[in-house]
Structures are given as structure tokens and as C-alpha cells.
Amino acid sequence: MGFHFRWEVIRDYWPLILQGTLVTIEVTVIAVLAGTLLGLILGLMRLGRGWWWRWPALAYITFFRGTPLFVQILLLHFAVIPQFNGGRALDAQISGTIALLLNSAAYVAEIFRAGIQSIDRGQMEAARSLGLRVGQAMRYVILPQAFRRMLPPLGNEAIALLKDSSLLAVIAGGEIATQMNLMFGRILSPWEPFLTLAFVYLVLTLVLQQVVAYLERRYGQG
């Protein structure tokens, strides 16, 4: 089978491509924002003094970092959610987004933990000597400094999450990979759907890289 790319196919399936791209962007944005917030909470729990904070966070992080995202998506969509939803699965896009953000939170938690621990302990002691409570010192002194150091790995995690969204195709999550699989099943030619899929992810990744680079210039250590 030789290479034969038909532009008219792209024109005919443009609404499908656009729909899948918009779903991919939506899923990624929600998963990045929610995963970052959950990751911050887990990171702070990992640094807590009591074992009742540390051990649940450690168990969570160990599970989600130690098992494939592919398996987590299947487990959540077909087993966990139906177990608590009367045997009914949620919409694939919703459960896929939940799986992505839960997975991302485990990696973000370790980024936050490492970033906070990289700040000299004297910063906390100085803040406390000025009358700030631990929570206030963490919010106004430690986290702003740590965030500058965490921007590059957080950006890399967002880019990885964008590409990992293609795994939602296994449950027909509605993103671009799902739509291109559907297109492939209709036209029975691999070139148009899968080259388009690669191009869309390449463009989205390059755009996200520019956003991350801007944030690093704007808020980074430099």
C-alpha cells in the first residue's frame, strides 16, 4: 500500500477533526488545573508531621505512579465508577478526564514536595520570627519561591498530560484520537486520520510549550 494522502478527506471530515481537537483541549485544561490543585494538597500532606497525613498521600502517589495510565483509565471507567454509581458508567469523556487528573496529581505532588523542600529552612524560620503562622508562611513565603523552581517540571507534566489524553481512545473518550479512529474505520485508509492525529498533537504541544516558556520568563527565577 503506497502513500496517498487525500486532502478532500480532510475537508469532508473537518467537523469531526475540530470536535475532537476541542475535546482534547478541554480535557487537558481541566485535568491540568484540577490535577495541580490536588497535587498541591497531596504534596503538603506528604510533608505533614503526622503519619495520618503522610501515609495516605504516599499510598496514593505510589499507586498512580506505579501503574500504567492505560490500566487506570480502564479500571476507573469500567469498575470503580460503576461500583459507586449503581452499576452505570459515566460518560467516557468525564471518567477519562477524572483518570487523567488523578494520575497527574500523583506526579504534581512529588514536584510540589521537591520544590518546597528545596527552599532553605531559614525562610520558614524567618517568617515565623516575624509572627506568621505556619500556613501563612507557607502561602506567602515558601510557595511563591518554590513555584518559580517548579515551573519547568510542571510545564513538562502538562505537556505529557496533553499527549497522554490520546489514551482516552480506549474508552472512546471523544478526543481527537477517538475521532481519528472513527475516521479510519470509515475510510479504511491510515494516512489521512493518523497523520492528521500526529499533526494536531504536534501543533497543540508546540503551542503549550510556548505558553510554558512565557510563564517561565514571566515568573521564573530569571
Task: Please tell me the total count of domains within the chain.
Answer: 1
CB-CB contact of 35 with 100 (8 Å): yes
What is the three-state SS of the chain? CCCCCCHHHHHHCHHHHHHHHHHHHHHHHHHHHHHHHHHHHHHHHHCCCCHHHHHHHHHHHHHHHHCCHHHHHHHHHHHHHHHCCCCCCCCHHHHHHHHHHHHHHHHHHHHHHHHHHCCCHHHHHHHHHCCCCHHHHHHHHHHHHHHHHHHHHHHHHHHHHHHHHHHHHHHCCCCHHHHHHHHHHHHCCCHHHHHHHHHHHHHHHHHHHHHHHHHHHHHCCC
Please compute the mean of the pLDDT values over residues 147-171 and round it to a whole number. Answer: 94
Q: How confident is the model at residue 1 (pLDDT cuts 50, 70, 90)?
A: low
pLDDT of 86 strictly over 80: yes
pLDDT, residue 221, reads: 56
Of the ranges 102-111, 137-146, 162-171, 174-183, which one carries the lowest mean pLDDT score?
137-146
Q: Mean pLDDT over all residues of the chain?
A: 91
Count of CA atoms in the C-beta half-sphere (13 A) of 93: 16
Number of H helices, E strands in the chain: 11, 0
Share of the chain above pLDDT 70, in %: 98
| 42-66 pLDDT, tens digit each | 999 998 888 888 999 999 999 999 9
Is position 2 within any domain? no
Is position 82 within any domain? yes
| 206-222 pLDDT, tens digit each | 999 999 999 888 876 54
Is position 68 within any domain? yes
Q: Residue 68 carries which DSSP code? A: -
Is position 1 within any domain? no
Residue linked to cell 497527574: 104
Rounded to two decimals, the pTM is: 0.91
Separation of CA 184 from chain center? 27
pLDDT of 138 strictly over 60: yes
Q: Read off the CATH number of the domain in which 85 is found.
A: 1.10.3720.10
Q: How confident is the model at residue 103 (pLDDT cuts 50, 70, 90)?
A: very high
Query: Which residues span the domain enclosing 81?
Result: 7-219
| 64-80 pLDDT, tens digit each | 999 999 999 999 999 99
Is position 115 within any domain? yes
pLDDT, residue 177, reads: 96
